[in-house]
């Protein structure tokens, strides 16, 4: 998150996929929509029944392909079976794979309000303000670097 142009996104992720990312078993997160900004880190909000922020990961790349190509390329590291993958992308001509560089689990899961002012989790994702994101990720804040 050194670049001023990179952002941190908060993603709502099903608990089983969040856990697989944090264990290093799931190396890509599949999405139907793309970020409109360059994202360097993703904060993981595990959906119900956990309903908390559980960790984060660095983004190494984001790839856009037809779902058939995504499946061939990432089936062994995507943490999803083919039936669920096909259902997720049904009717889509393009899908996105967010490649996980390194993931970190928080020592203690945090409520959503500890990282943003939202009281409801994002349907898909939202961008976090830099100060909150840097604090959560344990990076120096702009004030601390002055």
* Residue 142 maps to a domain: no
Predicted local confidence at residue 142, as pLDDT: 54
Is 73 inside a domain boundary?
A: yes
pLDDT band at 2 (very low <50, low <70, confident <90, very high): very low
Question: 104 near 63, Cβ under 8 Å?
Answer: no
pLDDT of residue 97: 98
Return the half-sphere exposure (C-beta side, CA atoms, 13 A cut-off) of residue 23.
11
User: Is the pLDDT assigned to residue 1 strictly greater than 50?
Assistant: no
Q: Which two tokens stand for residue 109?
A: 């899961």
pLDDT for position 46 = 97
Residue 78 lies in a domain: yes
**Cα angle: 84, vertex 109, 35; to 5 degrees:** 50
Domain of residue 96: give its range. 7-137
Spatial contact of 117 and 50, defined as CB atoms under 8 Å apart: no
The CATH number assigned to the domain holding 72 equals 2.30.130.30
Residue 143 pLDDT class (50, 70, 90 cuts): very low
Instruction: Write out pLDDT tens, residues 98-114.
Output: 999 999 999 999 999 88
Q: What pTM was estimated for this model as a whole?
A: 0.89
The structure tokens listed for 5 are 């142009």
- 3-class state of residue 41 by DSSP: strand
In a domain? residue 131: yes
Given a contact cutoff of 8 angstroms between Cβ atoms, the answer to whether 13 and 59 are in contact is no
Q: Over the stretch 19-53, which tens digit does the pLDDT of each residue have? A: 999 999 999 999 999 999 999 999 999 999 999 99
Our count of domains for the chain comes to: 1
Q: Is residue 129 part of a domain?
A: yes
């Amino acid at each position: 998150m050194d670049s001023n142009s990179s952002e941190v996104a908060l993603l709502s992720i099903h608990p089983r996929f969040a856990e697989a990312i944090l264990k290093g078993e799931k190396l890509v997160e599949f999405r139907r929509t793309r970020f409109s900004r360059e994202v360097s880190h993703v904060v993981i909000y595990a959906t119900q029944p956990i309903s908390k922020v559980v960790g984060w990961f660095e983004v190494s790349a984001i790839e856009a392909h037809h779902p058939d190509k995504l499946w061939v390329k990432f089936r062994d590291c995507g943490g999803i079976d083919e039936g669920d993958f096909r259902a997720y992308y049904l009717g889509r001509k393009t899908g996105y794979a967010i490649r996980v560089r390194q993931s970190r689990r928080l020592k203690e899961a945090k409520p959503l309000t500890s990282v943003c002012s939202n009281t409801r989790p994002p349907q898909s994702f939202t961008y976090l303000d830099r100060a909150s994101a840097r604090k959560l990720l344990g990076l120096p804040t702009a004030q601390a670097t002055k």
